[in-house]
Amino acid sequence: MKSIQVQDLGRVQEIARVLARNGFGQFLTRLGVSQVLPSFAADGDEPTAPYARRLRQVLTDLGPTFVKFGQVLSVRPDILPKDVLIEFQSLQDRVPPMPFESVKEVLESELGRPWHEVFAEIDNEPLGSASIAQVHHAVLQTGEEVAVKLQRPGIERTIRSDIAILYSLARLFEGRVKIPGLYTPTDIVQEFDQAITRELDFLSEARAAERMRANFARDPDIVIPDILHRWSTRRVMVMEMVKGKPLKQHMRELQAEGGVDRKTAHLLMDATYRQVFEHGFFHGDPHPGNLFLTDEGQLAYLDFGVTGMLTGAMQDTIISAFTSLVFRDAEMLSMTVYRAGATSGRIDLRAYREDC
């Protein structure tokens, strides 16, 4: 572990303790960490909980960076097995909120004035609490209802340190732990690093929201909240309040009643097709917690920390792959995937076509 920085050793020790406490002491030995941190390798009782649940508990115990890492991986069946995916998906709902005093401190630090000069009131309890930020309902001094998204104090410094450690751990993984799919451990951390760096900049998120809002400006069934740029900074974003309920709540209610909502399903599919094939700009994290149904039955997109862009060539590739699947054209599918750059080496195209 020579690449670990001295200032990060305390955090590395904490990670080792958490892994050992959750029954992963032998894992530390396998990576060679026990040679540097021998006192932790044998710590902890004999594990009794399932592997996937213990792995999720590790991320929860290690805090926001690792919770976010698990959330990103929770939609990657090409990397993780099904039981781990299911456990990681529960991370969406299990982040404790920061105290209201911290909320006021962040607001006043970012706005450069007492919070009550801008807001007439702010709800003490958040509407939602995530690994990087939380959202509160508030009322401006003008009387306008808004949602206020605030970044957790010190979270960027914590994330930077944790990502440096993740890179070091990923290099330890290389060649020792087999990862399915096309990615190496370092590739996975690098992708996460790029995504979370964008999420830490609320001004970037505000621009993404404005672009999405412009793309759907003529669609009365899709709602993108307006951003109030006057009161938005890199760590605070104030936006139009969307009234309704999360899609995940709507789905639970439907399941309990045995009902089906075809209208919302078609709205979601149509909006997705338009983002991918028409706009070339898409919401990159459309899990049910980031989608709302308004009181008028519209579909609302929230949280634009992760978005993506598609070039014309990328769109053509997706269309070609989709078309070849519909018509069961194995030759067209194999050539499309190959030309898209799924491998950097030479392959037996005839054999690959037969596999397809």
Active site residues: 285
For residues 85 and 207, give the distance between their C-alpha atoms in angstroms, rounded to a whole number: 31
Indicate left, alpha or beta for 175 from its phi (over 0: left) and psi (-120 to 50: alpha).
left
Please name which of 15, 10, 46 lies closest in space to residue 28, comparing C-alpha atoms.
15
Closest CA to 293 of 285, 301, 303: 301
Nearest partner of 115 among 144, 138, 133, 146, judged by Cα = 138
DSSP string, 325-339: HHTT-HHHHHHHHHH
Cα 301 from Cα 213, distance rounded (Å): 10
Distance of alpha carbon 318 from its chain centroid, rounded? 23
CB 210 within 8 A of CB 216: no
Q: Which two tokens stand for residue 98?
A: 């920061």
Return the number of other C-beta atoms located less than 10 Å from residue 18's C-beta: 21
CB atoms within 10 A of CB 276: 18
In this structure, the strands spanning 222-223 and 244-246 are unpaired
Mapped onto helix, strand or coil, the DSSP state of residue 90 is: helix
CB contact at 8 A, 43 and 77: no
Cα–Cα distances in Å, from 219 out to 274, 294, 298, 355? 11, 14, 10, 42
Tokens 């060539």 belong to 313
Give the residue among 303, 223, 222 at the shortest CA–CA distance from 269: 222
